[in-house]
Every structure is written in structure tokens, then in C-alpha cells.
Amino acid sequence: MREAKYKMFYAAGNYWIMSCDSSDEQYMTPIIINETGAVIWKYLSECNSLNETAQRLSDFYGITIEDAKADVSLFTDSLRKYGIKYKNFSTYFDKEANENIALLYHL
């Protein structure tokens, strides 16, 4: 079985992560995430490591690197609970799905 692809969407005032793998025999309920989760998702798709993701999150929100690492860790642990596993986020996260993240920058 090939790896599932996941996309983030913004709809009805929420950010959603959905499986877009039609070959998956088991339905995955869409996951609602908050704005911080959406930013982390975007950075995970762009960065080469969790540390780089945390650094960008720290810069974006003006928080300590320790707090950013804790947020990234909590978010990725939550993804694993939903069965979203990874070795290299760049290969699992569809960059085109993050178009709506730009909305965050205009809040």
C-alpha cells in the first residue's frame, strides 16, 4: 500500500486535515486544527527538520524556542495518534494544500 497523502483546507471557519488517498480502505475522519496547528503544518511541509520548524514558529509568534519545540512536538504527537506517520514531512505533506494558510498572515 502506498503512503497516504494529507491536505489541509480552510472551510467553515476551521482548518481541516484530510486524507486524499482514495486507495485507503479505511475512512479517516477529517481532523480540525487551530491556527497554530495550521502554521505548524505549513512549516512542516516546507522545513527539513522539526528543529527548523520550531525555529520558524518561534520567529513567527515571537515565542521562545523551547515553547515552539513543545508546540511542534505536541502537534506531531497528535498527528501520530491519528495515524499520520512520517519520516520526512516534505514527502508526506502536499505543499499545494497550504494555499489557505496565507489567510493567517492577514489577521
Q: What is the pLDDT of residues 39-89, one digit of tens each?
A: 998 898 888 788 999 999 999 999 999 999 999 999 988 888 887 765 434
Contact indicator for 65, 58 with CB cutoff of 8 Å: yes
More confident residue, 75 or 99: 75
pLDDT at position 48, please?
79
Neighbouring residues of 48: CB distance < 8 A, sequence distance ≥ 6: 90
pLDDT at 91 over 50: no
pLDDT at 97 over 50: no
Q: What is the pLDDT of residues 8-29, one digit of tens each?
A: 888 888 898 887 776 656 777 8
pLDDT at position 101, please?
43
- Long-range Cβ contact pairs of 66-74 (< 8 A, separation 24 or more): 71/36, 71/40, 72/40, 72/44
State the pairing for strand pair 6-11/31-33: unpaired
pLDDT at position 39, please?
94
Q: For the chain, where are the E strands, in sequence order? A: 6-11, 14-19, 31-33
Give percent of the chain with pLDDT exceeding 70: 70
Contact indicator for 51, 65 with CB cutoff of 8 Å: no
Give the mean pLDDT of the chain: 76
CA dist 6 → 17, 24, 27, 58, 76 (Å): 7, 12, 13, 25, 14
Residue 56 is which amino acid? R
